[in-house]
Amino acid sequence: MNNIIADHRPGYGSLAADAERLLSSFADHLLRERLSDERHARFLVRWVREYLRQPSPHPSATAADTLRAFLDRLEPSVATWQLDQARKAVEAWLAWRGRQHDPATPPAPAVALAADGTAAPDAILAATEQLLRVRHYSYRTEQSYMAWVRRLLDYLVASGRAANGRPVLSAEGYQDFISHLATRLNVSSSTQNQAFGALLFLFRDVLRLDVGDLAGAVRAKRGQRLPTVLSVEEVRRLLGGMEGPPRLMAELIYGAGLRVMECCRLRVKDLDFDLNQLVVRAGKGDKDRITLLPEQVVPALRDHLERVRTLYEQDRKAQVAGVALPDALDRKYPNAGTEWAWFWVFPSRILALDPRTNVVRRWHASDSSLQKAVKEAVQRAQIAKPAGVHTLRHSFATHMLVNGVDIRHIQDLLGHAHVETTMIYTHVAKGLRAPPRSPLDLLRAAPARAVP
């Protein structure tokens, strides 16, 4: 937290101790409510700090007046995107401070329910989508959450929990739907828990409804399952049955321990051939990490990039919009999307519509095509295991462990937040190691030394 609220720029002393404590609490609020990630929270706190340093306003000035004066003072010296960031930071601060002064006033819901507890489904979906994007959820998570919200709304109407054709949103309906998934549809524990998280976001964050202690909801308990792991020989046969970019992607996933979307989203700048390193940007949990770049794949990867460079230059001649950039980088660096460094390592062969901006541009290769290629390779290799793309990541971790690599190092390479997650591979590795031998057998196997 200290690195979020600290401001080491010259000429800017700290505020009073009380104000710094408030800024620390505000930073906690930004992270807890997922209004910002840790990278961007420090900039929001910095804008608020500068807002608090401005001269004391007139006693009759409102919060809106002080914000307007602050933005007017900033406007000549900052870019438009910075001005917008400063405005959002101060608005979030003022809203948070307002609730601090009046804690009895709960945060306003994104969608206000009618007196009968109903709301228009379109309004609920629109508000949920907007809040997911404000809190920087990934597009895949957004799709999953939106699908569960739609299923809940349809269920409430079909089960009679509706008024005038609109679903009635209540804690009882929420708990009934979660129980319905477990007891009637018999979905897996992971599916049910995914629905639980998505709908908890809807009720707690979008509608601001109290769902109680959830004691009435039947939830599945997820048992411990061991991952499927291939032997070294099986991996060799699988990769030998693949060719082209799919094989290169599969080799990177196995050789670097990547998740499938981490491989698909690789950019040219993420490859460091000099240090044999590969940088994973905004992986699971929006975290960066460094992992291995296998030496064996470097020649094929260089040849692949030469062919990709040709496609990149064709896009530039055709004036295709630049590739998608994370967060607000397209406003901060307007031309970055057209630079070679930001281009995809594995681009799609066709252009597609950006679902968030409605801009036609080139995206990365689809994960479904890679999954299909791996499935076909598993069948050709006659591997009698339920293996897929993620199996290669499991195999990477297990084979590293068998080869004596420290489990903490493997944890860093995989990007696991807790070592307990990585420990699951110790159970699989037992079956791949050579069976232990008795010390007596080792004694008899050792050659006798001649006595001088």
CATH number of the domain bearing residue 376: 1.10.443.10
User: What residues make up the domain containing 396?
Assistant: 232-429
What is the mean predicted confidence (pLDDT) over 165-193? 84
The pLDDT tens digits of the residues spanning 354-398 come to 887 889 999 999 999 999 999 999 999 999 999 999 999 999 999
Average pLDDT on 132-143 reads 83
Inter-residue contact 54 to 70 (CB < 8 Å): yes
> Same domain for 372 and 248?
yes
Domain shared by 128 and 88, yes or no: no
Q: Which residue has the higher pLDDT, 444 or 71?
A: 71
| Residue 165 shares a structural domain with residue 306 | no
- Lowest-confidence range among 219-228, 314-323, 433-442? 433-442
pTM over 0.75: no
Q: Is the pLDDT of residue 8 over 90?
A: no
Asked whether residue 75 carries a pLDDT value surpassing 80, the answer given is: yes
Neighbours of 64 (CB within 10 A): 10
Q: What pLDDT is stored for residue 29 in this prediction?
A: 80
Residue 175 clears pLDDT 80, i.e. is over it:
yes
Average pLDDT, the chain: 84
Report how far apart, in Å, the C-alpha atoms of 443 and of each of 78, 110, 181, 434, 451 are. 77, 74, 60, 18, 17
Q: Are residues 267 and 377 in the same domain?
A: yes
Domain boundary among 101, 131, 161: 101
pLDDT at 215: 46
Residue 141 lies in a domain: yes
Q: What is the CATH number of the domain that holds 165?
A: 1.10.150.130
pLDDT at 412: 92
pLDDT band at residue 66 using 50, 70 and 90 as cut-offs:
confident
Predicted pLDDT at 148: 95
Question: How many structural domains are present in the chain?
Answer: 3
Is 190 part of any domain? yes
CATH number, domain at 75? 1.10.150
The verdict on residue 441 lying in a domain is no
Residues with active-site annotation = 259, 284, 390, 393, 416, 425
Tokens of 185: 């549809």
Query: Is the confidence at residue 159, as pLDDT, over 60?
Result: yes
Which has more pLDDT, 411 or 29? 411
* Average confidence (pLDDT) over 97-109: 60
Verify that 77 and 159 share a domain, yes or no: no
Residue 353: count other Cβ atoms within 10 Å of its Cβ. Answer: 11
In a domain, 291, yes or no: yes
Please check whether residues 96 and 128 belong to one and the same domain: no
pLDDT band at 96 (very low <50, low <70, confident <90, very high): confident
Tell me: do 270 and 391 sit in the same domain.
yes
**Cα separations (Å) of 164 from 117, 118, 121, 160, 174?**
11, 9, 12, 11, 19
The yes-or-no verdict on residue 437 having pLDDT over 90 is no
Query: Do 328 and 282 share a domain, yes or no?
Result: yes
